[in-house]
Structure 1
Amino acid sequence: MRNALLIAELSLREAFRKRLVSVLVVLSVLFIGFFLYGILRLEQTLDQRAVDAGLEGRSATGAGNIPVISSALFGMYLVYFLGSLMAVLSTVGSVSADIENGVMQSVIARPISRAQVVLGRFLGFGAVNVVYVALLGTALLAGVYFITGYVPPAPGQALALVLLAVAMLTALTLLGSTLFTTLANGIGVFVLYGVGFTGGILSAIGSLADTPTLVTLGRVANALMPSNALWLGASYHLQPEFMLQVSTVTRGANPFVSSTPIPLGLVAWAAALTVLAVAAAMWRFSRRDL
């Protein structure tokens, strides 16, 4: 484990050396600033409309605050999407790129096993990705609260599901990096990500059109790649009760949100898939001919 932590530390230093962290900080500040400025202007507009209508104020979780609630929900979807993108792009060449440029031969020549190299890569890049998404999501929700006073019903549970999705994508990308070239790995993981997204759309269409076959196909796709299912589970915890009721009446017509909580079995499967992907990557790289 000590060697794995050493590789994780080297991976973190690599992220700083390649200015990955500095670029993330700058772009994240710009994103949060841009988004919260829009929330501020929206809040001012809604307050003025309330005054013009002769109202004393608006309920933070009432129907009159739907624009703010929807904006916060969409902002968290952007956090999930950016985190997914970050997980793939930061890890896509974690093993394969070092093999292609000859760096890996010098690393494994030292008293360290290949499995420890893979585990260290996951711990290092996984830490960067998870911490990044956690800070970004917390900053967004905190900013919305300070401007509007609105807090989602269960932000902690929602953020935890998003972080699990990011960790899972990091693990799957790491596994692909031990199996394929960097380019092929990137394409393959994005295709898998698309499978999960397609599963959400199929389920929404199947529910709206009362077509059990599409619903079943959507569930199969979500089981194969539960990243989108984790986001839908997170969206459930970000909606107040009246929005959940509206979504139930419309029979899940919006494929980006869910009116039902994610099954615990699917959460357990996503966590197990993360562990299995890392274990498979360690096993595969230990037996790979360089």
Structure 2
Amino acid sequence: MLTMIGITFREGLNRKVLLISLVLAAIFLGLYGTGVHYAAKSFNESPNPMLASVVYPQLLSFGLYFGGFIVSFLAIFSTVGAISSEIETGIIQAIITKPLRRRDYVLGKFLGLGLFLALYSAVFFTVIALIINLKTGLVLEGQWKALGLFALQPVVLLAITLYGSVVFPTIANGVVMFMLYAVAIIGGMVEQIGWLINNAGLQQAGIVTSLVMPVDSLYRKIVHLLLSPADNPLNALQQMGPFGSMAEPSVWMVVYALLYVVFFTGLAVYSFNRKDI
């Protein structure tokens, strides 16, 4: 299995999708850093502490939200054909005839890609946090826990996309996974609106979508970890808008996300063991 993990990790580094993702990340971080710089410069020239205490957290939420989108883009595209493409091209025939159990093949793929995506996410989160801290002086509470959850987001997508790569053709898998991710994002915004206007129906709809795909719930938990000190009277203003989190997801949602990863990884192993190739 260790050999499979190493091969998969190196494949992740050599994929063209990584280059595309790095270009998108560089463009985004460049624009984001420029925006934060000029926002901070404006507040330095015309001090308004109360407005700054609302705007700076909103800028952080914005960066983490779209940073998560880029990381998710990489997770889906790097995994969508992890197994199905090797089946379609016939490469799998040369791999499974070697003394490598099918279980080890799937788990090697998962662990290799998971390590690659977690490292990429950790670096992305760290850069965003540094930009905010250096430019605005905003102190981030719970940033280590938040970093762990940010790195967990692509691993959640990895687990279900890897399962999809076993049971669906590559293109179909990509379509299904993007639809699920879109449902999670839209559901998160719907739930946020529900909490804003105190609408129980919208809140419940958001909770249901978070059970189908818990990525957005992890993001909302991250925002609360970073921006919700108990003594902050402006917390409600900071959490308003599509990038905030009016209601903090419970720790059980994090547990659910971890179980979600274990379940779909196990299902991928089970399905691949039974698959006729």
Question: Residue 32 in 1 paired to residue 16 in 2?
Answer: no
Task: Map residues 242-261 of structure 1 onto 2, 5 A cutoff.
Answer: 242-246=233-237, 254-261=241-248
SS, match of residue 227 in structure 2: coil
Moved over 6 A (4+): none
Moved more, 264-273 or 188-197: 188-197
Q: Distance in 2 between matches of 1:212 and 1:25?
A: 40
- Which amino acid is 1:223 matched to? L
**Distance between the aligned counterparts of 2:205 and 2:132, measured in 1?**
37
Shift of 1:37: 2.4
Q: 2:38 aligns with which of 24, 31, 41?
A: 41
Find the counterpart in structure 1 of residue 133 from structure 2: 145
Contact preservation (8 Å) 1:63, 1:242: no
Contact 1:153–1:237 (CA under 8 A) maintained in structure 2: yes
CA distance, structure 2, for counterparts of residue 114 and residue 285 of structure 1: 7
Shift of 1:13: 2.0
Report deviation, 1:86: 1.1
CA contact (8 A) 2:17 2:74 kept: no
SS of the equivalent of 1:234 reads helix
2:102 matches 1:114: yes
Aligned partners of 1:192 and 1:225 also within 8 Å? yes
Deviates more, 1:168-177 or 1:233-242: 233-242
Deviation at 1:200, TM superposition (A): 1.8
Question: How does 1:93-242 map onto structure 2 within 5 Å?
Answer: 93-240=81-228, 241-242=232-233
Identity of aligned residues (%): 29
Superimposed CA distance per residue, residues 249-268 of structure 1 (whole angstroms, 9 cap, x where no aligned partner): xxx76343213322111111
Which letter does structure 2 place at the counterpart of 1:244? N
| Structure 1 position 262 matched with structure 2 position 249 | yes
Range 147-156 or range 86-95, more displaced: 147-156
TM-score by length of 1: 0.86
Unaligned runs of 5+ in 2: none
Q: Is the 8 A contact 1:141 1:151 kept in 2?
A: no
For the 8 Å contact 2:54–2:237, the answer to whether it is kept is no
Per the alignment, do residues 211 and 40 of structure 1 end up closer, same or farther by CA in structure 2, a change over 3 Å counting? closer
1:80 CA displacement: 1.2
Q: How far does residue 17 in structure 1 lie from its aligned partner after superposition?
A: 3.3
2:184–2:215 Cα contact (<8 Å) kept: yes
Q: Bigger CA drift: 266-275 or 14-23?
A: 14-23
Assess, with a 3 A threshold, how the Cα gap between structure 1 residues 109 and 226 changes in structure 2: closer, same or farther: same
Q: Please give the per-residue CA displacement for 1:67-121, whole angstroms capped at 9, x wherever unaligned.
A: 3322122111111111111111110000001111111111101000111111111
Give the count of matched residue pairs. 274
Does the 8 A contact of 2:60 with 2:132 survive in 1?
yes
Q: CA deviation at 1:162?
A: 2.0
1:185-206 per-position Cα deviation (integer Å, ceiling 9, x unaligned): 1111111112222322332343
Q: Considering only aligned residues, what root-mean-square deviation do their CA atoms show, in Å?
A: 2.1
Deviation at 1:23, TM superposition (A): 5.0
- Encode CA deviations 1:173-229: one digit per residue, 9 max, x unaligned: 001000100111111111111222232233234334443233222212211211111
Letter in 2 for 1:36: G
The verdict on how the C-alpha distance between 1:154 and 1:23 changes in structure 2, with shifts beyond 3 A counting, is: same
* 2:244 aligned partner, one-letter code: V
**Structure 1, unpaired ranges of 5+:** 51-57
Partners of 2:19 and 2:178 in 1: how far apart?
25
- Find the structure with the greater CA-based Rg: 1
| Residue number in structure 1 paired with 2:61 | 73
How has the CA–CA distance of structure 1 residues 106 and 268 changed in structure 2, closer, same or farther, with 3 Å as cutoff?
A: same
Distance, in Å, in 1 between the alignment partners of 2:242 and 2:59 is 16
Contact 1:5/1:123, CA 8 A, preserved across alignment: no
| Corresponding position of 1:55 | none
Is the deviation greater in 186-195 or in 265-274? 186-195
Provide the rounded CA distance (Å) in 2 between the counterparts of 1:45 and 1:178. 52
